Amino acid sequence: MDTEARVITALGGRQPDRVPVFLYLNPYTENWEAADPSYSTVMDACREYADVICDWYCPSGFCCSAAPLESQTIPQADGTTRHLLQTPRGPISRVTTPDWRGAGLVKNWIVTEEDALRVLSIPSLTPRPDLGPFRETRQRLRGKAIAQITLNDPICWLGGITQPETLAIWTLENRPLIRRFLDVTFERTLALLEHCLREDAGPLLYFNGPEYALPPLMSPADFEEFVVEYDRRLVELIHSWPGKYVIVHSHGRVNRFLERFAALGMDGLNVLEPPPLGDVELADAKRRIGKRVCLIGNIQYDDLARSSREQVRQLVRQTLAAGAPGGGFILSPCASPYEHPLPPKAAGNFIEYLRAAHDYGRYPA
């Protein structure tokens, strides 16, 4: 099987020729990892062993609106940077500071109710990105990679631009404002998704966001209202188009929510973080929802990057033993490689991880 057939077979709950293995690196397109010499041996291993995802983060404007907005970037005397955005109701601002990834967040766009109302004053003009370059890349990499479009769900649009303590307080004191925001961004996201499907996005569509509605920030009732109610309709639209599959992404402690995630109807769920950072025991998740959802995970990044080579191989064996039986499983770390430069130990471990997946991930003929 090629990568596309292998991944789609797993997402359908079946057994491909072997367990698909993700590392979330793409050695076939221009990206900062491919340009970094410290990643060169890992990229070679990805070409040989990995099921590569050709991911395209869908251009969708601010809060999923294509409305033109005037912006400014203003350096501050304390070393931070103030970013201003003009909305029809007035300006909003975000403050960042340099960090190891380039721009750490000091203050988010929405802190007050007035900030939210200013964001909601932005006209709802549906983004209509040109998918021509995506389709051309998909065709060029056919047989080598599977193509994926990444979007945000409504709670991701809100959570990504709102100060966390503000959002937590609003779940108790200002739920109508949350619902209004989610209703607006849902309609925009739905229209954007319809455009992408008409333009032949996929076969994978990938949604970020549900982690914003997990404890300790929100309650199970909040998850039902702010995630399940909206995302289920997005998944239904995707499945109304033949040959399209949807993966939902969520970090965090998702164990008590597994059945609610399954209720969304998606084909795959990642990242299923194990203890101690997460709370998902893979064998238990397999027993509970494995017949309905392809499980994608669940090796913690630091365990993969910092262990010995033999520990990496043992980790792969254990994870495959818990997730692979019966099909409907994709092996992956809980985060993509992000270090720059990549330490030699981590590089060697990632290669060992990919090789071990090949050694131990074959299904019986």
pLDDT of residue 327: 97
Q: Which helix (H) or strand (E) holds 321?
A: helix 309-323
Q: Is the dihedral angle over the CA atoms 9, 149, 177, 112 positive or is it negative?
A: positive
Choose among 250, 261, 357: nearest CA to 22: 357
pLDDT at 98: 87
pLDDT at 189: 98
Q: CATH number for the 3-66+123-360 domain, one of 3.20.20.210, 1.10.10.10, 3.20.20.450, 1.10.510.10?
A: 3.20.20.210
Token pair 């599977």: residue = 146
The whole-number mean pLDDT for each consecutive block of 10 residues of the chain, a chain of 365 residues, reads 98 97 96 93 98 96 97 95 98 91 86 98 97 96 97 98 97 97 98 98 98 94 97 98 98 97 97 96 98 97 96 98 97 94 97 98 88
- In a 10 Å sphere around its CB, with 0-12 CB exposed, 13-18 middle and 19+ buried, how is residue 243 labelled? exposed
CA dist., res. 110 & res. 97, Å (int): 17
pLDDT value at position 101?
64
**How many whole angstroms from its chain centre is CA 146?**
15
How many CA atoms are closer than 13 Å to the CA of 348, on its beta-carbon side? 9
How confident is the model at residue 99, as a pLDDT?
78
Residue from 206, 211, 239 nearest 226 by CA? 211
pTM, rounded to two decimals:
0.96
Query: What tokens were used for 28?
Result: 């076939």
Question: Domain residue spans in the chain?
Answer: 3-66+123-360, 68-118
- Give the per-residue pLDDT at 364: 82
| Segment 175-181 long-range contacts (CB within 8 Å, at least 24 positions apart) | 177/113, 177/116, 178/226, 179/225, 180/120, 181/116, 181/119, 181/120, 181/154, 181/157
β-sheet bridge partners, residue 56: 149
